[in-house]
Structure 1
Amino acid sequence: MTDSTSDSPLPAQDLQTLRGMADCQSVDLLLSDTNGLLRGKRVTAQSLPAVYRDGICLPMSLIATDITGNTVEETGLGYDIGDQDRICRPVPGSLRPVPWAPQPTAQLLLSMEDGNGAAFAAHPRSVLERVLARFHALGLTPVVAVELEFYLFDARADARGRPQTPPHPLNGERSDRTQVYYLDDLDTHRGFIDAVTAACRQQRVPADTAVAEYAPGQFEINLQHRNDALLACDDAVFLKRTVKAIAQQQGQLASFMAKPFAAQAGSGMHLHVSLLDRAGRNILACSADAPSAALRHAIGGLQHAMSDCLLLFAPHANSYRRFVANAFVPLNDSWGFNNRTVAMRVPHSDAGNTRIEHRIAGADANPYLVTAAVLAGMLDGLQRQCDPGPPVVGNAYTQRPLQSPAWSESIQRFIASEFIARHFGIAFRHIYGQQKRREMLDFQSQVSDLDYAWYLRTV
């Protein structure tokens, strides 16, 4: 389906995308909830102009459904208001093809409005948009890149119902070794990596580098930096959808779960951020021998905001299993140059490309909310001129006190946080906090297999 009329309601870029898709049949309308899950509708391509013109209605409660897809009544978005609909409108420029679909299909991101036509306070993309507006008011532009780690599993579980690495395509053996950055592992899974790369290219997702990570079946795909943080997060959303879809198409399972195995590395979301002024200069630019004031203040702000924002970086029960020592996961608020044991790393680069790599978030987190939290912390530090202390040289695990964060404490801290209310709004704090509190209570009410193994016959 193409629309060649001059009065089309589609923006020029989206109209061009649609015209480039031969015989497009349907469009997936995607709304990211606070957990990062994509919800929405599938419509015919013929109805797309009406979607751009009028929007579509979706329940407001979708934004804060729990991880199992149930409405969280404590948010106030369910029965209390009659489970009302809200208008959702296309994000201009986000129309992309769905390369793995069996028939020509497009996909389109949505943004939810409140009852007055403004952006809904709890929609993750809008949360980030509000933080970015404060940077732009100061003449600053964040440049952002997202790195995502994930595991590739066999679609079939093992005899205990646990995930297992996929069999080698030639000998059928399953790898149990760790060979970080091992090119043979990339060659073994070349069919998957190449298919993901090709699908990303068709969607204009700038996937840059693929590496075999620190566990069997674990990989990382990096995205190129963008001077539009919203677009950088859109890229991450499309990448996650692509990785999962291609894996399923090839009889495998891709998971961004933070800690699938107790004895193997967890999967993180590392966020790279630099800041440009109105003249296009990176205000963080410096060398390790002479850290700039802006770099130090931004890192100081991230340290100050770390505990309040931890629920955004580690949103689920499983997220906290990732925080173990000697696993390249931050266990304190340390920072340093060219050092992977710290929370805020300044990667090796020339002075002009100085950036902060924020290493706390898990791959299971919502990229819009992680980016909003990181940028809010940096902005707060710049404005208050926070002092981060000296950079760590060497092993941060042995030089700073280690922390063992807990889900319940993160939820309590978030719900009471003045920082969250100030930067993200009281409405978002309430909705997200109550969503996570309900998830925690429901999770804790379950009786696990370990309960039976430890207690059924012994007490």
Structure 2
Amino acid sequence: MKDWLRKHPDVRTIRVAASDLNGQARGKRIPARFADTVVSNGTRFPMSVLNLDIWGEDIDDSPLVFDSGDRDGVLKPTERGFMPMPWLDAPTALLPIWMFHENGKPYEGDPRHALRAVLDRFKARGLTPVCAVELEFFLIDDSGRTLEVPVSPRSGRRRKAAETLSIRALDQFDTFFTDLYDACEEMDIPADTAISESGLGQFEINLMHCDDALRAADDAWLFKMLVKGLARRHGFAASFMAKPYEDYSGSGLHVHFSVLDKNGDNVFDNGGPEGTDMLRYAVAGCLNAMPGSALVFAPHANSFDRMVPGSHAPTGISWAYENRTSAIRIPSGAPAARRIEHRVSGGDVNPYLMLAAVLGAAINGIEDGKEPPAPITGNAYSADLPQIPGDWKTAIDTFEGCSEIARIFSPELVRNFVLTKRQELHYMQELTPSEQVTIYLDTV
């Protein structure tokens, strides 16, 4: 890590940052000449900092604050090391960090450690998840009283229409996307295909599959930070909020995953289109945990505006082969690439918690070895299905009391997340929808 800075002598300052429960980057700015100390010894800030609400305020009744004296955690660099921050004017490096107790034990309220704990369960069985994420986001002009698609740098006009898979829509913002891909190269984020989506100024970029789920979550977290920062350099906003426009589809964050055994073979592949018993067990686990996981997949007030019938976001708990109306889709294609696509999450999720919930549910199912219900066919919206919680309060209560969630997340993380979301629910009820959009536009 220290060698990276020596190879980049123009970097004068660094940022050290960890993800809080809402996926917000929390940390410090440090002169580069003191970076060696951070690499060797880490840094410190209160444990409560990873448990702030969406406004960055303490949780009123959290035991992490006054009851414990607001004690410090020790933040150590992750395996990622230093990387540039191409959205800033001055050459700057980012050092991702995660939290530990004074005795070196991982802090269980850290969302990155929550994912690590799930991966330890796979490792104990000689299994390795392979993940890829698809991130949808909007480019938005938020300079006026209402949100609009930005003026195209090429034409000088606003194209106020949905343009699904439109090359023209991509070309209208070619300078932004060129800079974005260059920045992904600099940060070693594996950005692949970009498409225009059905929303107003909406796009999707896929990140390449990765056999290190912690790195896949890092990539998604860093990518969201990069897209939002770089858009501001181009004079507009980028937002991953679930539903910025009432009349257009919202943004999702879909994850594809398979599982490899010790020999590197895909345990979901049986040589045919239907997949193995292990695939069905993983599906069953995902379905069983879906009611309790809804708070992770839809963590904000605005999240549930996306999850309505006919909106390209699932509302019923189901699985299917090659069917995008279901919550769990088994894509077609070569058997060696047989995988599960989990389609519930909005773009506003914390990637670490989302992957922990998805993979944790899958390993629950693999451990239990139980069959799921039959796959559906046709339109899931018109089928008689058990429903994903459709409002924020129900999702909070279900998360708190779900036995499947208790197998995935530590009691401390469950408590902290519930306290956070109940505080946000209380204060969000005092705001108008437009005020809520203002809060979420840049944060999530």
* Shorter-normalised TM range: over 0.9
In 1: Cα distance, 2:373 partner to 2:252 partner: 25
Take 1:229 and 1:428, find their aligned partners in 2: how far apart are those partners? 19
| Structure-2 residue corresponding to 1:110 | 97
Aligned CA RMSD, in angstroms, stands at 1.6
Local SS of the residue matching 2:67: helix
Deviation at 1:420, TM superposition (A): 2.1
Matches for 1:313-324 after TM superposition, within 5 Å: 313-324=297-308
Q: Paired residues, what number?
A: 434
- 2:286 is the counterpart of 1:306: no
Larger Rg: 1
Alignment of 1:227-306 (within 5 A): 227-286=211-270, 289-306=273-290
One-letter amino acid of the counterpart of residue 307, structure 2: F
Matched-pair contact (CA < 8 Å) for 1:22–1:104 = no
Alignment gaps of 5+ in structure 2: 436-444
Structure 1 regions of 5+ residues with no counterpart? 1-13, 451-459
Higher mean displacement: 339-348 or 301-310:
339-348
Q: What is the SS of the residue equivalent to 1:73?
A: coil
Deviation at 1:128, TM superposition (A): 0.3
TM-score by length of 2: 0.94
Q: Is the 8 A contact 1:334 1:400 kept in 2?
A: no
Among residues 149, 153, 159, which one is paired with 2:136 in the alignment? Answer: 149
C-alpha distance in structure 1 between counterparts of 2:330 and 2:7, whole Å: 41
Is structure 2 residue 22 aligned with structure 1 residue 35?
Answer: yes
Within a 5 Å distance, the mapping from 1:41-440 to structure 2 comes to 41-157=28-144, 161-286=145-270, 289-401=273-385, 403=387, 405-440=390-425
Q: 2:429 aligns with which of 439, 444, 451?
A: 444
1:274 partner SS: strand
Moved more, 106-115 or 129-138: 106-115
Pairwise CA distance, 1:16: 4.1
Per-residue CA distance 1:86-137 (angstroms, 9 max, x = gap): 1111112331111232222110111111243211111010000001001000
Going from structure 1 to structure 2, the CA distance change for 1:51 and 1:170 (only over 3 Å counts) comes to closer
Secondary structure in 2 aligned to 1:77?
Answer: coil
- Paired residue type of 1:436: K
The DSSP-based 3-state class of the residue aligned with 1:74 is coil
Q: CA 1:360 to 1:80, structure 2 compared with 1: closer, same or farther past 3 Å? A: same
Rate the CA distance shift 1:444–1:155 in 2: closer, same or farther, 3 A: closer
In the TM superposition, what is the alpha-carbon distance from 1:171 to its structure 2 partner?
A: 4.1
C-alpha change, 1:389 and 1:420, in structure 2 (3 Å) is closer
TM-score, L = length of structure 1: 0.91
Cα shift at 1:334: 1.4
Q: Displacement, 1:170?
A: 4.2
Distance 1:275 1:449, change over 3 A: closer
The one-letter amino acid of 1:110's match is I
- How far the C-alpha of 1:429 sits from its partner, in A, is 1.0
Query: Which shifted more, 385-394 or 49-58?
Result: 385-394
Which stretch of the first structure deviates more once superposed, 361-370 or 382-391? 382-391
Separation (CA, whole Å) in 2 of partners of 1:170 and 1:200: 23
Are the equivalent residues in 2 in contact too, given 1:145–1:273 (CA < 8 A)?
Answer: yes
Per-residue deviation at 1:295? 0.9
Deviations 1:407-445 (A, max 9, x none): 101111112222222321111111111111111111123
Matched to 2:371, the amino acid is D
Identity %: 39
Question: Equivalents in 1 of 2:146, 2:101: separation in Å?
Answer: 42
| Alpha-carbon distance in 2 for matches of 1:311, 1:135 | 23
Distance in 1 between residues matched to 2:35 and 2:45, nearest whole Å: 16
Query: Contact 1:288 / 1:337 at 8 angstroms: preserved in 2?
Result: no
2:397 is paired with a residue whose SS is helix
For 1:60 and 1:297, locate their aligned partners in 2 and report how far apart those are by CA, in whole Å.
37
